[in-house]
Amino acid sequence: MSGYVYRDGARLTPYMLYQVERLNADLKRLFGVEVRVTYGIRLHQEQIDIFLQRYVTAANVRGRKVYDTRVWKGVRYYRISNAGTVAVPGYSDHEIQGTDSALDLRDTGRDAGIATMGSARSNWLRANCGKYDMVATGFQFGEAWHYKIRNIYKAVPGAPAGGGATTPPAAPKKRRKPMTTAVVYTNDEQDKNRSGAIVDLSNGVFEPFGWFPVSYADDLAQAYGATSAAKVTRAHYDALKSAAARRASLLGKVQVDINDEDVPKIGA
């Protein structure tokens, strides 16, 4: 997606930056230090790269110290770096997971403060991270600097319209189909063709469109904005026609009675 912003070289959404700056203001006010972002959002290839920097396959361990293992694509990998564990590509908090991502944080203090488990500043952030839409997930695997951050596409409060919100790539809008409209066709076959009609019972519509090849049924339904095409018996077809006529009468509409036989056979 476009619309990323950067702080300390780390990739963020505007909402992530907004929360980091809120945290920064509080850290300055309370402790006199500033926050630094070591890692933010990682693209998938970046996750692969960092994973392969720290993990090797069995054949490449070669007597080195190993800290943990992970299985990626059916192969066990061995971590030979003590810099930190790395999730298997596709499963990292740092890769965007829905509307969540992750931040690795430290501060400008002598001991890195918020990144050091058990320090006063780390304890403070662990207790207060929810105020910044963060979750202290790193403590579960010995990484006090690692926080999940939620709602990363949320608009930045107070930002001018269009100036603070990012959204995930928009999915193509699905055409809303009227639920009451259907295409029905009879099961009495004539040379592989069927007799069909558009039906909208709530509006008293029953409009035969003639004979058509069976293979067109779904395409016809889509063309008429119907949810599906339904094959019905001739008796049911006629019953739907009568029901639509009654509804049209109740609505005070004049339904033009089009006889199926009056509709030209398509392709004839």
Partner 1 sequence: MADLSVTQEDVSVIRDILLREKSEGNPNPLLPADVDLDGDGTADSFGLDVNDQVIVVPGVRLENTLYESEGDDLNFKDES
Footprint of partner 1 on residues 81-100 (CB under 8 A)?
A: 82-85, 87
Footprint of partner 1 on residues 26-55 (CB under 8 A)?
A: 32-34, 36, 38
Cβ pair 53, 42 in contact under 8 A: no
168 lines the binding site for partner 1 (CB under 8 A): no
DSSP 8-54: TTEEE-HHHHHHHHHHHHHHHHHHS--EEEEE----HHHHHHHHHHH
Query: Alpha helix (H) ranges present in the chain?
Result: 14-31, 44-54, 120-128, 217-223, 234-250
Q: Which is nearer to partner 1, 143 or 207 (CB)?
A: 143
Identify the residue whose tokens are 């829905």.
98
Identify the residue whose tokens are 């036989």.
261
Q: Which helix (H) or strand (E) holds 148?
A: strand 146-149
61 lines the binding site for partner 1 (CB under 8 A): yes
Least distance from partner 1 to the Cβ atom of residue 130, Å: 16
- Span from 64-72, 194-202, 211-219, 255-263 in contact with partner 1 (CB under 8 A): 64-72
118 lines the binding site for partner 1 (CB under 8 A): no
Where on the chain is the footprint of partner 1 (CB under 8 A)? 32-34, 36, 38, 58-59, 61, 63, 65-71, 74, 76, 78, 82-85, 87, 104, 106, 108-112, 115, 137, 139-143, 145
